[in-house]
Each structure stands twice: as structure tokens, then as C-alpha cells.
A and B are shown apart, each in its own frame.
Chain A
Amino acid sequence: MDGTQFMTFHDLAYDAGKTDFQRKAEVIGVGREGELLEVAMGPQHPSTHGVFRMDVVLDGETVVKLKPVFGYLHRNHEKIAENTSYLGSMPYTDRLDYFCSLTNNWAYALAVEKLAGLQVPERAEYIRLITAELTRVLNHTCLAGFLLQDMGALGTPLMYAFREREKILDLFESLTGARMMCNYMRFGGCRCDLPAGWLAEARKVVAEYPKFLDEFDALLSGNEILMARTQGVGKLSAELAINAGITGPMLRASGVDYDLRKVDNYGIYSRYPFRVPLGDHGDVYDRYMIRMLEMRESLKILEPALKDIPEGPVVDPKAKLRGFRPKPGEAYGRIETPKGELGFYLISDGSPNPYRYRVRPPSLINLTILEDMCLGQTVADAVITLGSVDIVLGEVDR
């Protein structure tokens, strides 16, 4: 089977010119209809994490072909951003990966700061680090819950995960005003300072979190059914992962030591020692465990950061809210979001709107490899493989 195949606009037009029979004959192979079954999973399938479709061709229960179909949630994010001011795109970035709005904000702010040459004050750097790591914990908690939901552990793990997630969302709400659509970072800092008592609350949540992780580990990580279900499923080799441009926990689960927090040293990550967990099988179980371990590492960063945070301003006094026009140029800002490398590429022509605005979404690029991971496995395994990629359709389709 050749590499991943996408449904492009060209394909669609090409398909449209054919009769249904011709198209089917091509996909399935003439003479084998009746033996192979073509199933469209999604876009309303409960396990597709949003409006995502997989066209799978099955031989019995084995996947022989899988075509991911994107675009149901396309909202023209990039073009809209080219038509609003730089500030106006900030709330739209919340809606890319709606679990991780604060890291999206940060990536975009970083790109604009590079473009406009703004300096981020010390306190704002700390707030960014803290909120980003809290976001990572939140995202991985949810992912663990959803992944187990996909495996058929209905309810319980997801509810436990959501119970903990709520605590972090409460922190976000009291800081930014919104639970999910935070719209908090600004070019050259953050929108507002921490409210009174926030740090104490955050310290409490961080101090209590390991208890939940222990509970979750006891509940599931050693569970024999989970292991039987996930080990050796959806394998991805390190070589293929690198070639396909996979980033984030997916890449690290395949054993490649690549974390932008270490590689790029953006923000103030160099001040806090933390380890990058690596898997060695690249299967679904490794991807699950990587996330569990990453949460513990994040907590290790959070604990001292919440103590060290200095007083001071939270935004560069040079940064302008109204009439912001960076000088002509281009910039690429990228950070390690919980899902992988999120990058924003901006070209400015000196006007209030970006001339070009491009997002490099980790979810989309991690998803392109789906067929290679699923071939030869059963349909049920395809479902959990998709779950382990950790996608959010808002970011895939933009």
C-alpha cells in the first residue's frame, strides 16, 4: 500500500466525473466487490472526535484502505485573519484547538512579537509558562479520558478526568474571564495581571494534582485489558514519524527526542529542569503513557514557577492596542503545544492587517499519517488509533 492518500479538491472533482460504480471499482478493485466493504465512518460517528470522516475499506474486519476526509469544520480562519487587525485574530486563535486556547494565544503572540520586536516582561513570561503548562495538564487529562472512552471504558475515566479538568478551568476563568475561549495573551505580555489569591489557588491545584494522577494510574495504567487493547496497536516507526513531520507526544512516543521547549528554548523554559518522556514502541499504549508522564513533568515545572513568579508589569509599555502596525517583514513563531508544534507564519506589509497569515496546526499534520498506522488492523483499533493521535477538529480544519 502506498503512503497516505488525501482527499484533495482535485480528487473530489475527479471523482465527481465518474459514475459511482467506476469510483467504487477503483477503490475496491474490480471483481472484489462483495468481498470488501466500504464504510464511511463519520462525520457523525461518535468516535471521530468531531466532524471528521474516515472512508475505510474493510476486508472482513481488517482495514485495507483508509482515507481521512477533512474540511467539515472549515471556517476560513486564515483568510479571516488577513482581513482583521492583528489583535482581532487573537480571539479566533482560541477557537483553533479549543482545549488549549492559552497555548494558541501564546504561539500567535510570539509570532507577532517577533514581527514587531516587542519585549515580554518577566512576570508575563512566568504567567505564560504557568498557563501553558496548566493547559498541557488539562489537555492530557482530557485526552486520557477520551481515549478510554473510545476503547469502551464508558463514562468513568472520562468523568474523573473532567472532574480534575474543572479545577484548572476554574483557574482559567478567574484569571481570564472565560473557561475555554480565554483570549488572554497580548502582543508584548498578557491582558491583565493575576487576580488576588490566584497564585495560592493555583498552588493548591498543582499540589493536589499528583493525587489524581496516582488515582488514574491505579485505575487504568496497569489494567490488563487496557494493555491488551493498546499494546502493539497503531504502531508508528520513528523514521516514518520524522518523514511525515509528526510532532508532539506522537513523535516522542515513537522514541524521537524532540521537544520545542528544549530545542527552541522559548519563554523561560531553560530555567526549569524537566525531562522529556520517550516511548519505544510507538503504539497506542506508549502514546497514552507519554501523556501521563508529561503531566507529571509539567507539574514539576509548575511548582517552582508558581513560587518564583516576580512582581512587575505584565505587558510591554511599547505595545499598542489600537492602531497596531508592525513594520513590513515576516516572522514565524512556534511553540510546543500539548498536541505538537503549533506555528504561526505572518507577513506584514505595514498595514493594520497581516498580508499573509498561516497556521501550522499540529493536529492536521499528525493526522495525515493515520492510514499508515491503521492498515492491517481491525476497525476497532482504527478508532483508538485515531483517539491516540489527539486531534481537535477546530485546528485540523481551521
Chain B
Amino acid sequence: MLGTGILKGMVETAKNFAGSYHDPERLTTVEYPEQRIASKENARQFPFLVHDTEDPMQGLRCVACQICEKECPPQCIYIVKSKDKRADYKGQMQLYPVTFDIDLSVCMSCQICVEVCPFEAIKMDTEFELSNTDRFGGLLVNKHQLAKSNEHYRKIHPTEAAVSDDALAIEVAKAKAKAKADVEAKAKAAADAKAKAEAAAAAAPVGVAATAPVPKPSAPAAAPAAAPAA
């Protein structure tokens, strides 16, 4: 019968209309800004710089390598490297950014800077209420405005931050192990050099020890072999 399609449609509309008063399925909007929907854990808005210490400027992880500046598709990052170096989180001497600006009016929130950064130094924030009366200067943010603590990062992206913290912990452990190994190797090398000199002095007249393995200065395993020869 002509008109049944229309009537069926009307029934749907009526159901939805009535439902919008009590059925949570039908109540799909919230009254922003009084009510807010929590943002998703992976949500990304604009980048920020992570710092580890109390003083944001001292603890910036960024080493001004400028990879992000080069890779940023719309070219909205501007970095000036420092002339001097300072120790980073694992004690290595590194450059730091004297200027680090991001033009948020150009940034397209693509997260490529985060992906290419080898130092876990730049991450995505979830802050989106950035409206400003100054059209140009207001959205050009400098490193003081960009610096946020690692705690903040842990709070907004817990899963991601855990991965990043682990990666850094491994780096620190590696750096420590390397430093320790360096110290040991140096001591060993000195000891070995001494042992070798003594061995050479002792072996020269006998002639048998000449076939003994020549201890390598840096190989720790070779040291005990050198001892009997001496």
C-alpha cells in the first residue's frame, strides 16, 4: 500500500525520539565544556618536549639533532643548536637546543616527529583547547612552553610511556655497563701491558715461553694465560 514505507519510517523516528529521553543508547551527545568525554589513551594533538629533572630546561632530553626538523612534513619545527655541551640523562655529553619552536598553526598533528626522534625526547600531548587571541605569536610555542615532565607523559599515555621508560632504562644500563667496562678495560689494559712487559722480560732468556699465547691487551680472558708464563 502506498505510504507504508513512510509510516514505517515514522515509527523509527518516533522510537528514536522517545528513546532520546531515557535510553542511554540514544543519548549520544554531551554538553561540552561542562561535560567532557575522556580522551582515548592513544589520542594525539600537538607535540611537547619531555624533561626528566626539576628544572625543565636542564632536563630536556632533546639533543638538538634536528632529525625531527628535517622530517616534519609541513616544516613547522625550528631548532637552533647550542655551542656547548652538557651531560644528558645517561651522563653522555650532548648538545642541547638553544631554540626549539613549533608553529602549532602549521603543525598537522601527524606524529612523525615522535616516530623519528631517536632520543624519546618529543611526544604527543592531548591538550586541545589552545584557542588564542594572538593569531601568529600565540600559536608559535617555544621550548619553555613545550617542556613537560615525564610524569605528565606517564599520565596521558601510560602504556606508551612504560615502553619509552623501559627503552631509556636499557640505554642507561648499557651506558653504565659500558662505562664500567671502559674503566675495567683500561685497568686490564694497564695490567696486561705490565704483565706482557714482565713476561717478555722473563721469557726472553728461556725461549720456551715464546710459543705461549701472546696476551691481547684488551681481552680479559687472556690475562690468566699470561700469569703462568710470567
What residues of chain A have their CB less than 8 Å away from a CB belonging to chain B? 84-85, 87-92, 156, 160, 163, 166, 170, 173-178, 181, 183, 191-192, 195-196, 215, 218-220, 222-227, 321-322
Contact = CB atoms under 8 A, between A and B. Distances in A.
A80 to B, nearest CB: 8
B6 A321 contact: no
5 contacts: A170-B40, A174-B42, A183-B111, A223-B5, A322-B67
Interface residues of B, number: 31
A175 B12 contact: no
B73 A84 contact: yes
B6 A224 contact: yes
B82 interface: no
A374 to B, nearest CB: 27
B175 interface: no
A181 B111 CA distance: 11
B43 A219 contact: no
Interface string B103-116: 00000111110011
Contacts of B9: 218-220, 222-223
Interface of B: 2-6, 8-9, 11-13, 16, 28, 40-44, 67, 71-73, 108-112, 115-116, 118, 124, 159
B6 A87 contact: no
B116 A322 contact: yes
Nearest to A91: B110
Contacts of A227: 5
B6 A195 contact: no
B115 A222 contact: no
B106 to A, nearest CB: 13
A215 B12 CA distance: 7
A218 B6 CA distance: 9
Contact of B3 (A92, A166, A174, A224): A224
A249 B111 CA distance: 33
A99 B212 CA distance: 75
A219 B12 CA distance: 6
A226 B5 CA distance: 9
A321 B118 CA distance: 11
Given A183-B110, A227-B5, A322-B116, 5 more contacts: A181-B109, A195-B42, A218-B12, A222-B4, A223-B9
